[in-house]
């Protein structure tokens, strides 16, 4: 799994957000700008950071056990639906074809499309009303085969097949509930673990993700 650096350290081009931090203060401390940090970390808003979150720093070697670097927490400080466009992401790798993931909040489904045809459809669980999954067009920018996730009132070790698409929001396997078809998550898209594993093998960095009603 991806292990974040110790609290407050800036190791390997990463920084763990501390209580009271804001993006301006972090940028000033590390010789960067708010815009640069927001773009690098897929933040739609400068207000979307929270204590314990791992941020990438410009110019650092941000590689670890995952593919790219994602937040260690599945819940940003605020929803990412409004407040700015989706961050730029790399194109699909050559030879992968036209693949796209569409998450429909109205019927709690995720559909995988390839060359315009649906190749897999699964019932999922998206964010509950107080922590909604952000609507918009994104791309997968970071992947972990397994990762610990934590937030206010919860801790989930070894969450399987994690694929971040914006800020701290990800598609991932779910072993702690079976309420698929009902929006109960902290904002991430919860899949049955077997389906998350299939998506892990099918998708890649840069795969488009559309979240819609």
Give 171-207 pLDDT, tens digit per residue.
Answer: 999 999 999 999 999 999 999 999 999 999 999 999 9
Both tokens of 15, joined, read: 């920084």
CATH of domain 14-212: 2.40.440.10
Coil, strand or helix: which one is 175? coil
Q: Where are the domains of the chain?
A: 14-212
Q: Provide the pLDDT for residue 26.
A: 81
Please say whether the beta carbons of 60 and 12 come within 8 A.
yes
d(CA 147, CA 191): 15
- Of the candidates 40, 47, 209, 43, the residue with the CA atom closest to the CA atom of residue 138: 209
pLDDT at 59: 66
Which parts of the chain sit beneath pLDDT 50? Answer: 1-12, 61-96
């Amino acid at each position: 799994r991806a292990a974040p650096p110790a609290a407050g350290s800036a190791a390997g081009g990463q920084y763990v957000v501390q209580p009271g931090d804001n993006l301006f203060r972090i940028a000033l401390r590390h010789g960067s700008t708010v815009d640069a940090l927001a773009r690098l970390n897929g933040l739609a808003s400068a207000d979307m950071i929270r204590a314990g979150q791992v941020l990438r720093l410009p110019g650092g070697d941000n590689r670890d056990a995952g593919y790219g670097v994602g937040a260690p927490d599945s819940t940003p400080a605020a929803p990412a639906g409004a407040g700015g466009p989706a961050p730029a992401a790399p194109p699909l790798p050559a030879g992968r074809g036209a693949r796209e993931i569409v998450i429909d909040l109205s019927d709690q489904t995720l559909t995988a499309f390839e060359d315009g045809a649906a190749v897999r459809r699964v019932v999922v669980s998206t964010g509950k009303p107080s922590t909604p999954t952000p609507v918009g067009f994104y791309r997968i920018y970071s992947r972990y085969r397994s990762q610990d996730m934590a937030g206010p009132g919860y801790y989930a070790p070894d969450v399987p097949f994690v694929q971040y698409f914006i800020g701290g929001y990800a598609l991932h396997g779910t072993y702690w509930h079976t309420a698929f078809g009902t929006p109960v998550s902290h904002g991430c898209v919860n899949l049955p673990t077997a389906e998350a594993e299939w998506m892990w093998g099918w998708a890649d960095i840069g795969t488009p993700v559309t979240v819609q009603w």
